[in-house]
Structure 1
Amino acid sequence: MAQQLELSSTVNESQLGQRLDQALAELFPDYSRSRIKEWILADKVSVDGEIVNKPRVKMMGGEEIVVQAEIEDEKRWEAQDIPLNIVYEDDDILVINKPRDLVVHPGAGCPDGTVLNGLLYRYPEIAEVPRAGIVHRLDKDTTGLMVVAKNIPTQTRLVRALQKRKKFTREYEAIAIGTMTGGGTVEKAIGRHSTKRTHMAVQELGKPAITHYRVVEHFRAHTRLRLRLETGRTHQIRVHMAYLNHPLIGDQLYGGRPRPPRNAGDELIQTLRKFDRQALHAVMLRIEHPTTKEVMEWHAPVPDDMVHLTEVLRADTVEFGDLDY
Structure 2
Amino acid sequence: MAENIQHQDVVPDSCLGKRLDQTIAQMFPDYSRSRLKDWILDGSVAVNGEVITKARVKMAGGETITLNAELETEVHHEAQAIELNIVYEDEDILVINKPAGLVVHPGAGNHDGTVLNALLHHCPGQELLPRAGIVHRLDKDTTGLMVVAKTIAAQTNLVEALQAREITREYEAIANGIMTAGGIVDEPIGRHSTKRTAMAVTISGRPSVTHYRVMEKYRLHTRLRLRLETGRTHQIRVHMSFIGHPLVGDPVYGGRPRPPKAASGEFLDELRGFKRQALHATMLSLYHPINGELMTWHAEIPEDMVIMNAALKEDLRLNPVEEF
Q: Give the direction of change, closer, same or farther, for the CA distance of 1:253–1:57 in structure 2 (3 Å limit).
A: closer
Instruction: Give the corresponding residue for 1:118.
Output: 118
Instruction: Give the corresponding residue for 2:146.
Output: 146
Instruction: Give the corresponding residue for 1:288.
Output: 287
Instruction: Give the corresponding residue for 1:106.
Output: 106
Q: Does 1:164 align with 2:164?
A: yes
Shift in Å at residue 178 of structure 1? Answer: 0.2
Shift in Å at residue 89 of structure 1? Answer: 0.4
Q: Give the direction of change, closer, same or farther, for the CA distance of 1:63–1:173 in structure 2 (3 Å limit).
A: closer
Provide the rounded CA distance (Å) in 1 between the counterparts of 2:231 and 2:86. Answer: 22
SS at structure 2 position matched to 1:224: strand
Aligned length: 287
Shift in Å at residue 292 of structure 1? Answer: 1.5
For structure 2, list consecutive stretches of 5 or more residues without a partner in the other structure.
Answer: 29-43, 57-73
Instruction: Give the corresponding residue for 1:21.
Output: none
Q: Output the aligned Cα RMSD.
A: 2.9
Q: Are the counterparts in 1 of residues 215 and 225 from structure 2 also a CA contact under 8 Å?
A: yes
Counterpart amino acid of residue 233 in structure 2: T
Provide the rounded CA distance (Å) in 2 between the counterparts of 1:240 and 1:87. Answer: 29
Provide the rounded CA distance (Å) in 2 between the counterparts of 1:117 and 1:258. Answer: 34
Shift in Å at residue 53 of structure 1? Answer: 3.1
Shift in Å at residue 244 of structure 1? Answer: 0.6
Cα deviation digits, residues 53-97 of structure 1 (max 9, x gap)? 379987421546539xxxxxx871011111100000011001000
Counterpart amino acid of residue 236 in structure 1: Q
Instruction: Give the corresponding residue for 1:66.
Output: 55
Q: Give the direction of change, closer, same or farther, for the CA distance of 1:315–1:104 in structure 2 (3 Å limit).
A: same
SS at structure 2 position matched to 1:154: helix
Q: Give the direction of change, closer, same or farther, for the CA distance of 1:61–1:95 in structure 2 (3 Å limit).
A: same
- The TM-score normalised by the length of structure 2 is 0.82
Instruction: Give the corresponding residue for 1:134.
Output: 134
Instruction: Give the corresponding residue for 1:86.
Output: 86
SS at structure 1 position matched to 2:290: coil
Cα deviation digits, residues 183-212 of structure 1 (max 9, x gap)? 000000000000011110000110100000
Q: Give the direction of change, closer, same or farther, for the CA distance of 1:50–1:92 in structure 2 (3 Å limit).
A: closer
- The TM-score normalised by the length of structure 1 is 0.82
Q: Are the counterparts in 2 of residues 179 and 324 from structure 1 also a CA contact under 8 Å?
A: no
Provide the rounded CA distance (Å) in 2 between the counterparts of 1:255 and 1:60. Answer: 36
Percent of residue pairs identical: 57
Provide the rounded CA distance (Å) in 2 between the counterparts of 1:160 and 1:63. Answer: 13
